């Protein structure tokens, strides 16, 4: 889908490098839910791409606001990435929306005095190209804080300020020229300070909001309370950690991997061929001895949240078609090239559809890889593989 | 297509197509009468006068007749925009009449965004605005034509979703429920960052259950009226409907686009011009004079731009020429100049910025106008017009 076909000089159409994608992907693993992981991914990508663009073409003074760790605590709860440029702040609002109808800015970025920006950029992130290098970031409009407060509409249902596209400046050529020439023009409207939260109240709020049962923490208490909590880095950090603990259950695997499709060369989300993985990890030595050429081997990266290292491991599955419509399966777990050994005490287990452990193996220190005994099952069988370290685990579901 | 000459015809007739080609002009008799009445009160038969007049009427009162007159006026602009777009973005899906209809359906947007104080005529402005709107529509339609309902729901803005629900006739309570369901859907139906560019599979049973659980839990606190709990099947149905309503609202099949056809949908036409309008007609004439005065300013602006563009390096001038004169896409330019599209994109943007900066300088020096953000926007619009309409700036002096 060559939609970069429609690029015009009055918008910024910026490409995304494979390196930026990998970096952002890794950073996003810190988040607690699939939703916040995706938010962090889009935000980190937009931040990296637009920062690089500003630094290469305008000024090296452009820097990301806040440290990487701090940003993660924000992205767990709300969209938006800030860049500082001298004494001004630019806020990026990344989204996958394609219809250019409005700019939506969460209230946090408009009504928290410490978070307010001068300029707000409407950013579309496009990732679904047919080729990996067809991903791009498109900046299609901007506005000021003042305009957002004056011409924007506050939507209480999701606590956002919404500005119709007709009020946005659609010509990005004017952005830098305006930034330089009109430095004294008002960009910010007045914002009332929020009361500081006493520590005990903050702690009780944190306990309440970090419960797994709270779907949208930012919408669950009045904004004055939420804002006061969020604007304190220490409280925010604690809320983030509590949320991570509460939601550290085995991640619901959204996809069920259909193993027999591998024989038809279909590649599913997250699974890569040996060649692709070897290219990314040249020091990897794998040892899935195949007894026939019809064996299909695929690998997948798995990220464990276990502190302090948050290790990544590679899980390989080898499939061999056997007689009477059964499939032979071998499973191995290898470290990535950052270490020659699998994390000590890592366990790999085979679970039946009913959750019963059928096989399990534990890594000793200095194991180059661990593997299950080869097993066979008929087509249509469901099973799970569980990879665990301390109390952090990942469960992958399979259908043969 | 035969361009029209008679002032009455220009403001009262519409293009009719047969197969994929322009066939003839069809006059709406009520619009013709309206123009005839108007001409009795003012003998000015210039196109620019009447364009200004009807635009001011439309701005002041938004009466249908003003919009119809202007839609008639802008038929040629729409046609040429459709032709230009078809050449630049050929697509078997959209014929010339399709593109024409899509363009003309955007007349309201053109009228709303037109700024007479910037000095160019409505027709000139429309000549630039229609292709831009067409390009935007094609881009969006291309992204959504072949995507699944679930993908579509991730790409639609809240604003357009709510407009679609409203048009589908949902009551406010129901709209709030659907909006919450959509929010829950978008929170859980996400890609994993490591999945590369492979598309998201359709939501499975487990996911619909999770969405239902989230909705049922959140409705207690997020909705003014929580309503009944929903099963996963109900939620799936709700969201399927949302997607269908969005498609119907945003991307209707072209043939059904609402176009003020000759004789139909004329609404409330005013056959008589009230007396009060005579004074305002006079005011228009004065406005016209002012506009002509701005013309001289524009000649100076043009000289300044001509100088600035000669300061750019030859490659950038060539890129601008290919983009603005030969109307190539950036990827075609990249192929022709043996550059990457990324480079072409960056150079075009930077070249435009350099020209704008030069223009702002000129404004400061000669007109003694300190740059304000609004002035910069106006100058950039003037720059865009100049780049598109002047055909001679790529020729090197004394080359």
Show the 3-state SS of A335-347: ECCCCCCCCCCCE
Q: Give the nearest chain A residue to B190 (CA atoms).
A: A35
Residues of chain B contacting A104 with CB distance shorter than 8 Å: 157-158
Note the pLDDT of residue A333.
Answer: 92
Name the residue with tokens 């011409």: A151
Per-residue pLDDT at B3 exceeds 90: no
Nearest to B280, CA basis, from B111, B55, B71, B67: B55
Q: Which member of A12, A101, A270 has the closest CB to residue B160? A: A101
Q: Which member of B136, B195, B353 has the closest CB to residue A270? A: B195
Q: Which member of B113, B136, B376 has the closest CB to residue A177? A: B376
Note the pLDDT of residue B168.
Answer: 96
User: Quick check: A255 and B159 CB within 8 A?
Assistant: no
Q: pLDDT tens for residues B263-306?
A: 444 444 443 444 445 456 556 655 665 565 566 566 778 888 99
User: Quick check: A185 and B373 CB within 8 A?
Assistant: yes
What are the residues whose beta carbons fall under 8 Å from the beta carbon of A34, sequence distance 6 or more? A251, A252, A254, B188, B190, B192
Query: By the 8 A CB rule, do A318 and A373 touch?
Result: no
Helices (H), B189-324: 205-222, 232-250, 276-311, 314-324
Q: Of residues B369 and B252, which shows the higher confidence score? A: B252
DSSP per residue over B154-205, as a string? HHS-HHHHHHHHHHTT--HHHHHHHHHHHHHHHHHS---GGGTTPPPPPP-H
User: Quick check: B346 and A178 CB within 8 A?
Assistant: no
- Identify from B93, B162, B179, B194 which residue to disrupt to test chain A contact, counting A C-beta atoms within 10 A and taking the largest count: B194
**Residue B212, helix vs strand vs coil:** helix
C-alpha dist (Å) from residue A219 to B163, B223, B224: 23, 11, 14
Note the pLDDT of residue A48.
Answer: 96
Residue B189: both structure tokens together: 């139906």
C-alpha dist (Å) from residue A143 to A13, A118, A187, B377: 18, 8, 9, 12
Q: Give bridge partners of residue A352 from the DSSP assignment.
A: A383
Residues of chain A contacting B179 with CB distance shorter than 8 Å: 157
Note the pLDDT of residue B352.
Answer: 96
User: Quick check: A9 and B348 CB within 8 A?
Assistant: yes
Q: pLDDT tens for residues B159-201?
A: 999 999 999 999 999 999 999 999 999 999 998 887 665 678 8
Report how many Cβ contacts below 8 Å link chain A to chain B. 184
Mean pLDDT value across residues A366-391: 87
* CA-based R_g, chain A, Å: 24
User: Quick check: B222 and A176 CB within 8 A?
Assistant: no
Neighbours of B373 (CB within 10 A): 19
Per-residue pLDDT at A133 exceeds 60: no
Give the gap in angstroms from C-alpha A257 to the nearest C-alpha of chain B.
11
Residues of chain A contacting B342 with CB distance shorter than 8 Å: 15
State the distance between the two ends of chain B, measured CA to CA, in whole angstroms: 38
Residues of chain B contacting A13 with CB distance shorter than 8 Å: 345
User: Quick check: B330 and A4 CB within 8 A?
Assistant: yes
Residues of chain B contacting A9 with CB distance shorter than 8 Å: 323, 345, 348-349, 351-352
Q: pLDDT tens for residues A251-287?
A: 444 456 888 888 887 766 678 887 777 766 665 556 5
Rounded Cα gap, residues A385 and A397, in angstroms: 7
Burial (CB < 10 A; 0-12, 13-18, 19+), residue B9, is middle
Note the pLDDT of residue A295.
Answer: 80
Q: Which member of A129, A155, A173 has the closest CB to residue B349? A: A173
Neighbours of A114 (CB within 10 A): 12
Residue A133: both structure tokens together: 């290098």
Residues of chain B contacting A178 with CB distance shorter than 8 Å: 371, 373, 376
Give the gap in angstroms from C-alpha B278 to the nearest C-alpha of chain A.
32
User: Quick check: A99 and B250 CB within 8 A?
Assistant: yes
- Does the global pTM surpass 0.90? no
C-alpha dist (Å) from residue B244 to A201, B158, B161: 46, 15, 11
Rounded Cα gap, residues A127 and B316, in angstroms: 29
Note the pLDDT of residue A281.
Answer: 66
Average pLDDT, chain B: 86
Nearest to A273, CA basis, from A281, A347, A349: A281
What sign does the dihedral B371-B377-B383-B385 (CA atoms) show?
A: negative
Note the pLDDT of residue B286.
Answer: 57
Give the gap in angstroms from C-alpha A353 to the nearest C-alpha of chain B.
15
Q: Give the nearest chain A residue to B163 (CA atoms).
A: A101
Nearest to B11, CA basis, from B72, B55, B58: B72
Per-residue pLDDT at B74 exceeds 90: yes
Give the gap in angstroms from C-alpha A295 to the nearest C-alpha of chain B.
23
Note the pLDDT of residue A257.
Answer: 81
Give the gap in angstroms from C-alpha B51 to the nearest C-alpha of chain A.
23
C-alpha dist (Å) from residue B278 to A75, B59, B221: 60, 17, 59
Average pLDDT, chain A: 88
Mean pLDDT value across residues A369-384: 89
Note the pLDDT of residue B246.
Answer: 96
Residue B177: both structure tokens together: 């429920």
What are the residues whose beta carbons fall under 8 Å from the beta carbon of B9, sequence distance 6 or more? B25, B27
Rounded Cα gap, residues A186 and A178, in angstroms: 12
Neighbours of A397 (CB within 10 A): 17
User: Quick check: B217 and A215 CB within 8 A?
Assistant: yes
Name the residue with tokens 């707000």: A120
Note the pLDDT of residue B255.
Answer: 67
Residues of chain A contacting B199 with CB distance shorter than 8 Å: 128
Query: By the 8 A CB rule, do A2 and A8 touch?
Result: no
Note the pLDDT of residue B297.
Answer: 63
Mean pLDDT value across residues B257-268: 45
Residues of chain A contacting B140 with CB distance shorter than 8 Å: 98-100
Neighbours of A73 (CB within 10 A): 22
**Residue A82, helix vs strand vs coil:** strand
Q: Phi, psi at residue B150, to the nearest 5°?
A: -70, -40
- Helices B47-61 + B276-311 axis angle, to 10: 110
Per-residue pLDDT at B104 exceeds 90: yes
Residues of chain B contacting A166 with CB distance shorter than 8 Å: 112-113
What sign does the dihedral B156-B159-B165-B170 (CA atoms) show?
A: positive
Residue A81: both structure tokens together: 């990435």
- Identify from A1, A2, A3, A6 which residue to disrupt to test chain B contact, counting B C-beta atoms within 10 A and taking the largest count: A6
Residues of chain B contacting A4 with CB distance shorter than 8 Å: 330-331, 341
Give the gap in angstroms from C-alpha A98 to the nearest C-alpha of chain B.
6
Q: Which member of B143, B179, B214 has the closest CB to residue A157? A: B179
User: Quick check: A3 and B143 CB within 8 A?
Assistant: yes
What are the residues whose beta carbons fall under 8 Å from the beta carbon of A277, sequence distance 6 or more? A284, A299, A314
Give the gap in angstroms from C-alpha A53 to the nearest C-alpha of chain B.
9
User: Quick check: A185 and B201 CB within 8 A?
Assistant: no
- Helices B205-222 + B172-188 axis angle, to 10: 130
Q: Give the nearest chain A residue to B358 (CA atoms).
A: A177
pLDDT tier at A384, thresholds 50, 70, 90: confident
User: Quick check: A34 and B190 CB within 8 A?
Assistant: yes
Residues of chain A contacting B335 with CB distance shorter than 8 Å: none
**Residue B384, helix vs strand vs coil:** helix
Structure-derived torsion over alpha carbons of residues B195, A381, A273, A331, reported in degrees to the nearest 10:
110
């Amino acid at each position: 889908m060559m939609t970069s076909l429609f690029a015009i000089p009055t918008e910024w159409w910026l490409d995304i490098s494979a390196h930026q994608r990998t970096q952002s992907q890794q950073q996003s693993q810190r988040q607690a839910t699939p939703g916040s992981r995706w938010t962090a991914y889009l935000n980190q990508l937009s931040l990296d791409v637009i920062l690089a663009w500003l630094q290469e073409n305008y000024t090296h003074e452009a820097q990301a606001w806040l440290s990487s760790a701090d940003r993660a605590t924000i992205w767990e709860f709300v969209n938006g990435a800030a860049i500082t440029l001298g004494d001004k702040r630019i806020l990026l609002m990344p989204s996958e929306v394609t219809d250019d109808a409005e700019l939506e800015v969460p209230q946090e970025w408009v009504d928290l005095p410490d978070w307010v920006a001068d300029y707000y950029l409407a950013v579309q992130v496009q990732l679904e190209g047919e080729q990996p290098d067809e991903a791009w970031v498109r900046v299609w409009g901007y506005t000021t804080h003042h305009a957002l407060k004056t011409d924007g509409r506050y939507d209480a249902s999701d606590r956002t300020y919404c500005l119709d596209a007709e009020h946005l400046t659609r010509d990005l050529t004017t952005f830098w020229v305006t930034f330089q020439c009109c430095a004294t023009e008002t960009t910010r409207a007045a914002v009332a300070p929020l009361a500081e939260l006493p520590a005990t109240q903050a702690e009780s709020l944190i306990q309440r909001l970090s419960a797994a049962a709270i779907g949208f923490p930012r919408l669950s208490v009045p904004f004055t309370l939420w804002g006061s909590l969020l604007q304190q880095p220490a409280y925010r950090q604690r809320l983030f950690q509590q949320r991570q603990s509460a939601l550290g259950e085995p991640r619901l695997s959204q996809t069920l991997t259909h193993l027999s499709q591998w024989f038809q060369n279909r590649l599913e989300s997250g699974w890569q061929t040996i060649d692709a993985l070897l290219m990314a990890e040249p020091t990897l030595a794998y040892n899935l001895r195949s007894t026939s050429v019809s064996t299909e081997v695929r690998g997948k990266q798995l990220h464990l949240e276990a502190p302090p290292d948050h290790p990544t491991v590679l899980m390989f599955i080898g499939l061999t078609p056997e007689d009477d419509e059964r499939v032979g399966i071998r499973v191995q777990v290898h470290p990535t090239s950052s270490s020659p050994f699998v994390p000590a005490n890592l366990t790999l287990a085979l679970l039946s559809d009913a959750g019963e452990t059928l096989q399990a193996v534990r890594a000793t220190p200095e194991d180059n890889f661990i593997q299950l005994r080869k097993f066979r099952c008929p087509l249509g069988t469901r099973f799970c593989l569980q990879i665990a370290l301390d109390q952090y685990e990942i469960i992958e579901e399979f259908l043969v | 297509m035969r361009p029209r000459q008679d002032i009455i015809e220009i403001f009262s007739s519409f293009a009719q197509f047969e197969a994929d080609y322009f066939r003839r002009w069809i006059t709406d008799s009520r619009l013709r009468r309206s123009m005839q009445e108007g001409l009795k009160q003012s003998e000015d038969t210039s196109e620019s006068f009447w364009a200004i007049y009807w635009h001011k009427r439309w701005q002041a009162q938004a009466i249908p007749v003003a919009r119809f007159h202007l839609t008639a006026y802008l038929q040629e602009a729409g046609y040429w925009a459709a032709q230009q777009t078809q050449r630049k973005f050929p697509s078997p899906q959209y014929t010339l009449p399709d593109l024409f209809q899509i363009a003309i359906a955007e007349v309201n947007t053109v009228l709303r965004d037109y700024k007479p104080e910037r000095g160019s005529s409505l027709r000139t402005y429309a000549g630039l605005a229609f292709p831009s709107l067409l390009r935007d529509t094609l881009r969006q339609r291309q992204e959504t034509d072949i995507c699944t309902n679930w993908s579509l729901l991730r790409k639609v803005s809240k604003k357009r979703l709510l407009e679609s629900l409203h048009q589908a006739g949902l009551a406010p309570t129901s709209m709030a429920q659907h909006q919450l369901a959509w929010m829950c859907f978008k929170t859980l139906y996400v890609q994993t960052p490591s999945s590369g560019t492979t598309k998201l599979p359709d939501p499975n049973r487990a996911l619909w259950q999770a969405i239902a659980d989230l909705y049922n839990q959140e409705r207690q606190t997020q909705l003014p009226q929580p309503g009944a709990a929903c099963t996963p099947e109900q939620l799936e149905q709700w969201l399927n409907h949302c997607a269908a309503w969005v498609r119907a609202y945003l991307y209707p099949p072209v043939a059904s686009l609402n176009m003020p056809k000759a004789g139909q949908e004329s609404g409330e036409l005013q056959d008589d011009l009230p007396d009060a309008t005579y004074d305002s007609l006079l005011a228009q004439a004065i406005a016209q004079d002012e506009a002509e005065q701005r013309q001289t300013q524009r000649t100076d602006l043009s000289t300044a731009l001509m100088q600035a563009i000669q300061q750019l390096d030859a490659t950038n001038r060539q890129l601008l020429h290919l983009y603005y004169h030969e109307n190539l896409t950036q990827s075609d330019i990249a192929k022709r100049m043996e550059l990457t599209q990324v480079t072409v994109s960056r150079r075009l943007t930077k070249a435009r910025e350099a020209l704008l900066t030069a223009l702002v300088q000129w404004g400061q020096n000669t007109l003694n106008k300190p740059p304000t953000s609004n002035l910069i926007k106006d100058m950039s619009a003037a720059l865009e017009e100049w780049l598109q309409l002047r055909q001679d700036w790529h020729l090197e002096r004394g080359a």
